[in-house]
Homo-oligomer: A and B are copies of this chain.
C-alpha cells in the first residue's frame, strides 16, 4: 500500500498565498480564523488520515462489508476508527455551533474531505453522507426535528443516509413509488424499497437517520409529487436516546467493483415511522440541498484519489530502477522517473491535483459568501458561482481523478495490477464517483441545460468576467495568455451552444460532456495562472503550470471542434441500428 502524507503545506499555500482565506472570511461575521489556526486544524486532520484512516484502507477493501442477521458489519478497525473520528470532534468541524458544531470554515472541511478520500475513500464516505443529511435537516426541517436530530448527528453519535433511488428510478426520480401515509399524530408511515443506499446500515453509530423520498397519497405524478421524510433506524425515546426499532430493514448489500468497505444497501421501509422535512411535494428541493453538498463532496473524492495516486506513483518512480535516461551512456539502471513518459503521467496527475485543490478551496469560500455575506448581492453572486461550479467539480474532478488513478497504476507496470500494491484499489474506488450522486452525464446536462441558461446566462458571464478580471493585470504573461485565449474560445462556444440549443434541443445533450470538460480545463488553468503568477510561488508550481499550459490546456481545441460538430453525428443512426 502506498504511504500517504497529507499535503498540508500546499493547502496552506492555497489558503494563504493564493486565496487569502482569512481576509475573504473576515467580513462574513463569526469568529476570526487566522491562517495559523487553519494550519493547526489541517495538521491534526492530516494526522488522523495518515495514522487512523489510511492503515485500514486496504484491509477494508479486502474484507468488505458483510450482512449478518439483517445488520451490516463494516470491516475490522472501522468502528474503532470512527470512534476516534468522533472523539476528535471531526463530525462537527464546519457545522453551526448552535447544534454543537465547531463552526470552522467550510473550506477546512473540503480540504479534510480531500485528505480522507486520499487515505480511505470508503471510510470518508460515511461522515460525508451524514454532513449532507445534517445540511438538509438544518435548512428544511422544523424546529422540533432539528432539536432532536441535529445534536447527535453533529456530534457524530448518529449518522445519516440518503434514500432516493429505486430499482426503476435512478436519474429519473419522477418514477419513484415509495409512499408515505399521514398519521393522526402528525407522523407518517413510510413504505417502499430503495436501492444503492450508501451507509444504509452499518455498525459505526448508535442510530442512522434516513432521509427518504416518497409520495404522499394526494401527490401529483412525476417529480412534483415527491416529499422528503426523516426516518430513523431507531425511534428516539423521550431523552433523545435510540429507542424502539423502526421498520427500516436491510434487504441485501451490493457486491461492487470497489468502495467495498462502504455498505451499499437495498433498504426496505416497512411502514416505518417518519416525519416530513420541508413542505409536502417539495421533497426534491430539500433533497437538492443535500445533493449539491454531496456533489461537491464527490468531486473532492476524485481529487483525493488523484493526490493518493500521485503520491504512490511518484514514490515508486523514484525507487524503481529500469532502463536509463534518454541519451544516457550504458550503466546501472536508473529510477524510471528519468523517462519522459513516466514524467508525463506524473505531471498530468499533479496538474489536476494542485489546481483542483485550489479551485475546490475557492469554491468553498464562495459557499461561505453565499451563506453569510452581509450584502445580498454578494450572496447572490457567490450562490451563482457555486451553482455553476458544482456540476463542473463533481464531473470533471471525478473523471480526472479516475484518469489519475489509471495513470498512477500505469506507472507501476505489472505491480499496478496486483492488489497488494494498492494502486488498483484507487482505480476501483475512484470509478464510483463518476457514477453516483448523478452520473457525470447528468452533471453535464445540469451545467449546460440549466446553469448556463438560468437568469439569462448570468452565471457563466459572471464567472468568465471573474477569470478575465483576475488575470487582467498580467494578461501577457506566459501563464495568463493561454488561459485567456482558451477563455475566449469557451465564451464563443457558450454563445454558439445557446444559439444551437434554441434551434434543436438535442444540441444540449450532444454538447454536454465535452463542454463541461472544456469549462473545467479553463477553470483549472485559471488556478494555475493565478498560482504561478504569485511572487511566492515555488519553482515547482511554475514548472507544473507550464506543463499544464503546454500539454493539458490544448485539449480544449479538440473539445471545441467536437462541440462545433454538433448533434447531427450523434442523432443520425436510427435506434434499431444500435
Name the B residues within 8 Å of A172 (CB-CB): 321-323, 333
Tell me if A414 counts as interface (CB < 8 A to partner B): yes
CA distance A33 to B171 in the complex (A): 52
Residues B513 and A341 in contact, CB atoms below 8 Å apart: yes
Residues A431 and B417 in contact, CB atoms below 8 Å apart: yes
> In the complex, which of the residues B414, B424, B435 contacts A417, with contact meaning CB atoms closer than 8 Å?
B435
A340 with B554, Cβ < 8 A, contacts A170-B322, A257-B419 known = no
* Min CB gap A414→B, angstroms: 5
Give the interface SS of chain A, mostly helix, strand, loop or mixed: helix
Question: Residue of B at shortest CB range from A317?
Answer: B578
Residues B337 and A418 in contact, CB atoms below 8 Å apart: no
* Min CB gap A382→B, angstroms: 29
Name the B residues within 8 Å of A344 (CB-CB): 510, 513, 570
CA distance A169 to B256 in the complex (A): 34
Tell me if A346 counts as interface (CB < 8 A to partner B): yes
A569 with B547, Cβ < 8 A, contacts A337-B575, A506-B326 known = yes
Q: In the assembly, how many copies of this chain are there?
A: 2
Q: Which residues from 560 to 578 on chain A have a C-beta closer than 8 Å to any C-beta of chain B?
A: 561-562, 565-573, 575, 577-578
User: A108-116, A183-191, A279-287, A439-447: which one contacts chain B?
Assistant: A439-447
CA distance A195 to B165 in the complex (A): 45
User: A82-90, A361-369, A536-544: which one contacts chain B?
Assistant: A536-544
Tell me if A410 counts as interface (CB < 8 A to partner B): yes
A557 with B561, Cβ < 8 A, contacts A417-B435, A570-B344, A577-B540 known = yes
Residues B171 and A413 in contact, CB atoms below 8 Å apart: yes
User: For chain A, which range describes its interface: under 10, 10 to 19, 20 to 34, or 35 or more residues?
Assistant: 35 or more
Tell me if A234 counts as interface (CB < 8 A to partner B): no
> In the complex, which of the residues B168, B424, B445, B569 contacts A550, with contact meaning CB atoms closer than 8 Å?
B569
Question: Residue of B at shortest CB range from A322?
Answer: B172
Question: Residue of B at shortest CB range from A328?
Answer: B505
Tell me if A432 counts as interface (CB < 8 A to partner B): yes
> In the complex, which of the residues B436, B444, B565 contacts A341, with contact meaning CB atoms closer than 8 Å?
B444
CA distance A439 to B568 in the complex (A): 37
Q: Which residues from 300 to 354 on chain A have a C-beta closer than 8 Å to any C-beta of chain B?
A: 314, 317-318, 321-323, 325-327, 330, 333, 335, 337-347
Given contacts A172-B333, A317-B578, A554-B565, 16 further A-B contacts (CB under 8 A): A172-B322, A325-B506, A340-B567, A340-B570, A341-B512, A341-B513, A343-B570, A346-B578, A347-B570, A402-B406, A410-B439, A417-B432, A543-B577, A551-B565, A554-B558, A557-B561
Q: Which residues of A contact B (CB under 8 A)?
A: 165, 168-172, 175, 195-196, 222, 254-258, 314, 317-318, 321-323, 325-327, 330, 333, 335, 337-347, 402, 406, 409-410, 413-414, 416-420, 424, 427-428, 431-432, 434-436, 439-441, 444-445, 504-506, 508-510, 512-513, 539-540, 543-544, 546-547, 549-551, 554-559, 561-562, 565-573, 575, 577-578
- List 24 A-B pairs, Cβ < 8 Å: A170-B413, A175-B321, A175-B333, A254-B418, A257-B417, A257-B424, A257-B427, A318-B578, A326-B508, A335-B575, A337-B575, A338-B575, A340-B567, A343-B570, A413-B435, A428-B428, A540-B573, A546-B572, A547-B572, A549-B569, A550-B565, A554-B562, A556-B558, A558-B558
